[in-house]
């Protein structure tokens, strides 16, 4: 009788499960944002700008208050900017949304005007350092000097990212500090350590992670992701770590019995080529760590997948190709964000996706191209990547330049065009349904040195053979006379339409795009200058004085994103006279267009998450706005707001493991070694047992003829039981 009751309950549960699985839950979870009001003192008074949210009703208007007195006679409905002719630097402003005559006062924040078009933020610059004595020079491919007492180095702010780590609806800035001796994989040289800091927009310092001596400094090693991965309203941080990493609470990030003081660097300064090239790190454990965004505390650390293994599997014997990392965030199920960590693209290419469950990283799928040329993603990656739902199934794909990895971790297609340095994804050709990819290629034998292809199928739309390494390429809607995007590259005759038609022998800067002035076309950002394409040349809109861009000749901003105000973007650069400061530049040009914040467009928001990866590329919208906003619809998203009544985030206890099933696999991630795993059917029958695991991670296929399982694991701390549904 008891068995019949259990079976009946089981069948009812399965029936319910199947009915739920047929319901398409396609509303993306995205971060809650406040109005992002910014005020700037201008000649004509005070310029105000604020956010229209992706979840706002189209009829929403806004009332403006100065010193708690309403200064607008009727709600502003056509724009999200306003110039107060009577405003002064001491005025205090707030903006209140109005719908059906009712003001919304939730989350309202008062602001005072910036004195200039930028705001400076004071950072905590790490102390200068000195390397071990270097007999054969500084850094590079040939000896250029001698440092018998070590090479001195200092720090400047490098790539940044943003996320709301404390749940107040305002972005915090996550800063990567780069030492002056940071180095490319193919060059020798010992580097200083890399640090990651978190700051509020008012300059409040939150935490610092010291990545330690076993993480080399350079564009290709530390790709860090800032995002709310588990949907609690607070952003986390994910990046590669190693023994020697210290979290934001001052604790060692370490696994098993690894030594936190170990030094895995090659420090024989007589070796400036080959597998023992000085400064490289080709031995020792590699980790992937989830950090609490609010405190910088380590939440969970797992082994980095894939491990470096044999260097020759990646295409050389000195670690140049094995230590090429990328990272991105993707909504692989269409609803929840996953972290995707990548290794390799010149030859072998591997991607692993991770979900955050119970504050732990649990691998979802793993893709490995293998080592055979011409197969899968082998040799098809760039120094950058992008994320978009290219096949319109509601789930994101990873655009790996000359190939695309589908949401389930399989290859969608490869173009065979090979590796390159720059790429762009958006709706560039309005006659071609869906999205397109514009990319340049490094291989001299590539059929096209620059080309535009369909993002869903890889079908070539147009391209040109160059027969040479085409190092840079740019795409943006810079000319309103032609529908769609324009595009150009380092090699090639000039500027082209999305159809490949030459429109000018001149080319604008080949770097970043940015929305800055009043129209719907892209402006161009290169170094510290923002320019406007005139049709045959460029005019300058802004030149930052006393500031610098990042990444040497790449001349990229610390970050460029829609961080404040309306849909136009902000640019962050660092101050040259004092590299402990960054500046946030914002536009003060009024516009008649109202568009929801770009951060609520999934393609754009995920572009901000991957912008810091390797050779930084600018973000793009996932839809076209150059012809007007009449057909633009609000995104299908759900903002996740942090509740102050929620339990504070704590590091997982030793006896807390994430146990769940995905795609027919049982997956377990524990904070200590798992001794054994026992899996039982719902009727108590033992269907699987493994008594000799001795690892913090475990994965195994579940029986296909069963649907509900009880899982029991044993660790040093005791026994933990969980229920999973296949």
Please report where in the chains the tokens 């390799």 appear, as a residue: 344
φ, ψ dihedrals at 426, nearest 5°? -170, -175
Local structure of 452: helix, strand or coil: strand
Question: What pLDDT does 522 receive?
Answer: 98
Residue 76 has a CB neighbour count (10 Å cut-off) of 18
User: Minimum mean pLDDT among 7-21, 196-210, 234-248: which range?
Assistant: 7-21
280 versus 697: which is more confidently predicted?
A: 280
Please report where in the chains the tokens 């993480």 appear, as a residue: 215
pLDDT in tens, 321-354: 999 999 999 999 999 999 999 999 999 999 999 9
Answer yes or no: are the C-beta atoms of 712 and 698 closer than 8 Å.
no
Give the global pTM. Answer: 0.91
* Residues facing residue 66 across a β-bridge: 69, 93
Average pLDDT, the chain: 91
pLDDT in tens, 418-475: 999 999 999 999 999 999 999 999 999 999 999 999 999 999 999 999 999 999 999 9
Answer yes or no: are the C-beta atoms of 324 and 341 closer than 8 Å.
no
Question: What pLDDT does 655 receive?
Answer: 52
Closest CA to 204 of 166, 241, 158, 151: 166
Report how far apart, in Å, the C-alpha atoms of 601 and of each of 137, 405, 458 are.
48, 21, 23
Q: What's the alpha-carbon Rg for the chain, to the nearest Å?
A: 26
pLDDT in tens, 96-112: 999 999 999 988 999 99
Alpha carbons 722 and 726: distance in angstroms, whole number: 13
DSSP state at residue 311? G
Token pair recorded at residue 227: 């995002």
Question: What pLDDT does 141 receive?
Answer: 61
**Per DSSP, which regions of 304-419 are E strands?**
325-330, 338-343, 350-357, 360-368, 386-388, 397-399, 403-405, 411-414
Report how far apart, in Å, the C-alpha atoms of 158 and of each of 184, 239, 352, 548, 551 are.
15, 16, 26, 10, 7
Question: What pLDDT does 653 receive?
Answer: 45
Answer yes or no: are the C-beta atoms of 218 and 182 closer than 8 Å.
yes
**Edge-to-edge strand order for the sheet containing 195-199?**
155-163, 172-179, 195-199, 205-210
Which string of b and e fits 488-521 if b means at least 16 CB within 10 Å? bbbbbeebbbbeeeebbeebbbbbbbbbbbebbb
Using a pLDDT cut of 70, give the percent of the chain over it. Answer: 93
Question: What pLDDT does 188 receive?
Answer: 87
Question: What pLDDT does 383 receive?
Answer: 97
Closest CA to 119 of 581, 562, 599, 590: 581
pLDDT in tens, 249-306: 999 999 999 999 999 999 988 888 888 998 999 999 999 999 999 999 999 999 999 9
Report how far apart, in Å, the C-alpha atoms of 264 and of each of 222, 254, 283 are.
17, 14, 6
pLDDT in tens, 416-427: 999 999 999 999
Alpha carbons 648 and 641: distance in angstroms, whole number: 15
pLDDT in tens, 632-672: 999 999 999 998 655 444 444 445 787 877 777 888 888 77
pLDDT in tens, 353-390: 999 999 999 999 999 999 999 999 999 999 999 999 99
Closest CA to 216 of 283, 274, 156, 152: 283
Alpha carbons 620 and 205: distance in angstroms, whole number: 30
**Edge-to-edge strand order for the sheet containing 93-99?**
69-70, 61-66, 93-99, 102-103
Alpha carbons 550 and 50: distance in angstroms, whole number: 28
Question: What pLDDT does 273 receive?
Answer: 85
Identify the band that residue 144 occupies on the pLDDT scale cut at 50, 70 and 90.
Answer: low
Alpha carbons 222 and 238: distance in angstroms, whole number: 10
Alpha carbons 428 and 438: distance in angstroms, whole number: 9
pLDDT in tens, 386-422: 999 999 999 999 999 999 999 999 999 999 999 999 9
Alpha carbons 266 and 262: distance in angstroms, whole number: 12
Closest CA to 530 of 553, 505, 560: 560
Mean of pLDDT values over 699-714: 82
Instruction: Check pLDDT > 80 for residue 520.
Output: yes
Mean of pLDDT values over 610-636: 97
User: Minimum mean pLDDT among 20-24, 528-532, 643-647: which range?
Assistant: 20-24
Instruction: Check pLDDT > 80 for residue 579.
Output: yes
Cα torsion through 215, 216, 220, 224, rounded to 10: 40
Closest CA to 423 of 392, 455, 467, 393: 455
């Amino acid at each position: 009788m008891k068995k019949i009751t259990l079976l009946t309950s089981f069948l009812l549960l399965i029936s319910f499960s199947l009915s739920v699985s047929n319901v398409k839950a396609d509303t993306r979870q995205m971060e809650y944002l406040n109005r992002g009001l910014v005020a700037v003192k201008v000649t004509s008074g005070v310029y105000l700008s604020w956010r229209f949210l992706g979840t706002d009703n189209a009829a929403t208007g806004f009332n403006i208050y100065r010193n708690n007195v309403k200064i607008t006679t009727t709600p502003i409905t056509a724009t999200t900017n306003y110039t107060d002719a009577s405003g002064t630097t001491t005025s205090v402003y707030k903006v209140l949304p109005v719908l059906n005559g009712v003001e919304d006062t939730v989350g309202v924040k008062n602001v005072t005007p910036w004195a200039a078009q930028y705001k400076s933020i004071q950072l905590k610059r790490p102390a200068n350092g000195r390397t071990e004595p270097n007999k054969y020079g500084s850094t590079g491919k040939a000896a250029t000097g001698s440092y018998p007492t070590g090479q001195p180095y200092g720090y400047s702010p490098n790539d940044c990212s943003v996320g709301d780590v404390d749940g107040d609806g305002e972005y915090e800035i996550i800063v990567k500090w780069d030492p002056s001796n940071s180095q490319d994989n193919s060059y020798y040289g010992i580097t200083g350590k890399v640090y990651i800091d978190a700051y509020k927009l008012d300059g409040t310092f939150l935490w610092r992670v010291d990545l330690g001596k076993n993480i080399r400094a350079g564009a290709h090693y530390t790709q860090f992701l800032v995002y709310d991965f588990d949907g609690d309203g607070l952003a986390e941080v994910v990046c590669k770590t190693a023994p020697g990493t210290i979290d934001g609470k001052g604790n060692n990030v370490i696994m098993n019995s690894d030594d936190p003081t170990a030094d895995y660097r090659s420090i024989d300064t007589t070796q400036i080529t080959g597998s023992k090239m000085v400064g490289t790190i080709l031995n020792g454990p590699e980790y992937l760590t989830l950090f609490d965004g609010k405190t910088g505390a380590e939440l969970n650390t797992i082994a980095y997948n894939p491990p470096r293994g044999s260097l020759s599997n990646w295409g050389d014997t000195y670690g140049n190709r094995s230590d090429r990392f990328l990272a991105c965030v993707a909504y692989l199920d269409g609803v929840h964000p996953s972290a995707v960590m990548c290794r390799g693209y010149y030859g072998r290419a591997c991607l692993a996706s991770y979900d955050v469950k119970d504050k732990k990283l649990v691998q979802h799928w793993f893709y490995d191209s293998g080592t055979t040329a011409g197969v899968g993603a082998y040799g098809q990656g760039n120094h950058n990547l992008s994320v978009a739902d290219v096949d319109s199934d509601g789930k994101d794909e990873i655009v790996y330049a000359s190939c695309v990895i589908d949401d389930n971790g399989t290859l969608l297609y490869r173009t065979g065009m090979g590796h390159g340095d720059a790429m762009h994804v958006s709706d560039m050709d309005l006659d071609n349904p869906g999205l397109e990819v514009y990319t340049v290629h490094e291989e001299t034998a590539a059929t096209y040195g620059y080309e535009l292809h369909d993002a869903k199928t890889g079908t070539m739309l147009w391209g040109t053979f160059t027969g040479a390494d085409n190092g840079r390429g740019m795409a943006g809607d810079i000319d309103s006379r032609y529908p769609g995007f324009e595009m150009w590259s380092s090699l090639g005759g000039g500027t082209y339409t999305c159809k490949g038609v030459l429109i000018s022998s001149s080319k604008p800067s080949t770097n970043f795009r940015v929305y800055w002035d009043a129209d719907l076309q892209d402006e161009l950002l290169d170094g510290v200058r923002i320019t406007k394409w005139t049709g045959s040349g460029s005019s300058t809109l802004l030149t930052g004085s006393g500031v610098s861009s990042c990444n040497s000749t790449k001349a990229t901003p610390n970050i460029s994103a829609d961080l404040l105000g309306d849909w136009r973007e902000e640019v962050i650069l660092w101050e040259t006279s004092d590299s402990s400061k960054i500046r946030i530049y914002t536009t003060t040009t009024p516009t008649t267009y109202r568009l929801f914040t770009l951060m609520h467009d999934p393609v754009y928001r995920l572009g901000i998450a991957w912008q810091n990866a390797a050779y930084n590329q600018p973000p793009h919208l996932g839809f076209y706005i150059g012809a007007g906003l009449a057909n633009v619809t609000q995104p299908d998203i759900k903002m996740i707001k942090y509740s102050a009544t929620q339990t504070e985030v704590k590091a997982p206890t030793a006896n807390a493991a994430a146990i769940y099933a995905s795609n027919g696999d049982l997956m377990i991630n524990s904070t200590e070694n798992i001794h054994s795993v026992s899996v039982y059917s719902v009727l108590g029958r033992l269907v699987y047992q493994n008594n000799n695991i001795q690892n913090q991670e475990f994965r195994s296929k579940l029986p296909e003829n069963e649907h509900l399982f009880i899982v029991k694991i044993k660790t040093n701390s005791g026994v933990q039981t969980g229920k999973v549904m296949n």
